[in-house]
Amino acid sequence: MSIANLTVKIINQSNNPLPAYATQGSSGMDIRAFLSEDIQLQPMERILVPTGLFVELTEGYELQVRPRSGLAIKQGITCLNTPGTIDADYRGEIKVILINLSAETQTIHTGDRIAQMVLQQVAKISWISDTRLTETERGEGGFGHTGKQ
């Protein structure tokens, strides 16, 4: 089954290359920091990192901002509010909320790959008010109700 590609308008005010897929099978495109000076991210500190990117999405789609696994395992840096959503009607700069979960100060330089973006189609909900829901085997069980395996 083939999914059609979507053309998206982008403004790149940084000197970084446009986001791109690293491999044929990549789901996400790496996005880079656009900084006037390095950021020293202290342990447990969070910061909003600019990218210099602005996009115009087609209605019915979103871009999800997700962590990069290499940054997380090697430096202890990850994204908060994950996945972050860039809505189709948002026209501001894409910024990434990063947190340093390591015990050491981490440095972020301009051009560093700080996150990845994944394009997702979004379905809209039409609510139907009711007084009962269909019964299931699980029912109201949640938050670890199946126990440890």
Domain boundaries, the chain: 12-121
SS3 72: helix
Amino acid at 35: L
Is a pLDDT exceeding 60 seen at residue 149? no
Nearest to 66 by CA among 119, 15, 24: 119
Average pLDDT value for residue range 42-69: 97
For residue 114, how many C-alpha atoms fall within 13 Å in the half-sphere facing its CB? 29
> Does the pLDDT at position 1 exceed 70?
no
Query: Residue 140: which pLDDT band, with cuts at 50, 70 and 90?
Result: confident
Which amino acid does the sequence have at 7?
Answer: T
Q: Which CATH architecture has domain 12-121?
A: Distorted Sandwich (2.70)
To the question of pTM greater than 0.95 for the whole model, the response is no
